[in-house]
């Protein structure tokens, strides 16, 4: 669905040259069947198994976050190899995760155009 084309010099999705990427999601902990938002947590975008963050955001009171990639970051973004991660406090959410890090995959929601800039909109899937 997405490809980096040498002739386009950037991210191309469904034939559109993407100049901006917007990723939205909600970080929720489910304990004892109750969903609770995780506020004030840093979420980060990594690609290709790298430990270096391409971009970061902090969750709000409701666990929601938005990451917007600029044109340079968009050039480095490949949705096939990128995901959202966060570090949970030790024992966060009442469960133990390896290295206390959880990740969420990305799903393309749509493509929009503003002032001749095509934006790809992604949603972060459930964290696990």
C-alpha–C-alpha distance, residues 10 and 28, integer Å: 33
44: tokens are 């980060």
pLDDT of 3: 47
pLDDT of 92: 57
At the second CATH level, the architecture of 16-124 is Sandwich (2.60)
pLDDT of 97: 57
Question: Quick check: helix, strand or coil at residue 123?
Answer: strand
Q: How many CB atoms lie within 10 A of CB 41?
A: 19
pLDDT above 70: residue 91: no
pLDDT above 90: residue 113: yes
Query: For residue 17, what pLDDT band results from cuts at 50, 70 and 90?
Result: very high
DSSP code, position 73? H
How far is the CA of 21 from the CAs of 47, 104, 120, 121, 128, in angstroms? 14, 16, 5, 6, 23
Beta bridge partners of 122: 23, 108
Cα-atom radius of gyration of the chain, to the nearest Å? 15
pLDDT of 48: 84
């Amino acid at each position: 669905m997405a490809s980096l084309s040498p002739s386009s010099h950037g991210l191309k999705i469904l034939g559109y040259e993407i100049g901006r990427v917007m990723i939205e999601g909600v970080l929720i902990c489910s304990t004892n069947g109750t969903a609770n938002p995780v506020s004030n947590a840093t979420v980060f975008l990594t690609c290709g198994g790298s430990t270096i963050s391409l971009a970061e955001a902090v969750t709000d009171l409701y666990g929601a976050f938005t990451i917007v990639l600029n044109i340079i970051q968009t050039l480095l973004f490949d949705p096939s190899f990128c995901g959202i991660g966060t570090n949970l406090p030790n024992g966060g959410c009442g469960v133990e995760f390896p290295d206390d890090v959880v990740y969420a995959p990305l799903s393309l929601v749509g493509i929009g155009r503003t002032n001749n800039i095509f934006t790809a909109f992604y949603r972060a899937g459930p964290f696990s």
